[in-house]
Amino acid sequence: MLDMHRPGHRAMVETAEKDAPPMPGGNMQRQDTSLTDAQKRAFQQNEADFAKLEEQMRSVEEAATARLSASGLEFDEDRRNCYLCLCSGFESSGSSTRPSTRCANCPHQMTRHAGHQ
């Protein structure tokens, strides 16, 4: 039996490849070459600052998780538990087309839940 060579299988693969989104034309993209030195510096500084923020966020989350565990609360990152309340897990309060960062199960933001990144 050579199931892998069925025509049906082949057709499915080709369709999937055609469905890939086309690359954008690029006329709206920012060009490196047109940046002034000040703009380049601004981007670099922003990158460094956001990296710092992510690092801080990680350590805050680690401490928060440890604190909850130590207090006897079961904390499940896979269920995206809230760090601030007994929320059963983050669920966007928006619609599927306009997702919200606010949780539908508690009054806290997405960033106050585990595994939000």
> Minimal distance in Å, beta carbon 87 to Zn ion?
3
Question: Is there binding between residue 102 and Zn ion (CB under 5 A)?
Answer: no
> Minimal distance in Å, beta carbon 99 to Zn ion?
14
Listed as own residue / partner, the contacts of 39-46 with beta carbons closer than 8 Å and 24 or more positions apart are none
All residues at 6 or more sequence positions from 100 whose CB lies less than 8 Å from its CB, including other chains? 92, 93, 94
Question: Is there binding between residue 68 and Zn ion (CB under 5 A)?
Answer: no
- C-alpha–C-alpha distance, residues 51 and 47, integer Å: 6
Which amino acid type is present at position 75? Answer: F
Binding window for Zn ion (CB under 5 A); candidates: 27-35, 38-46, 50-58, 105-113: 105-113
Question: Is there binding between residue 82 and Zn ion (CB under 5 A)?
Answer: yes
Residues in touch with Zn ion (CB under 5 A): 82, 84-85, 87, 90, 103, 105-106, 108
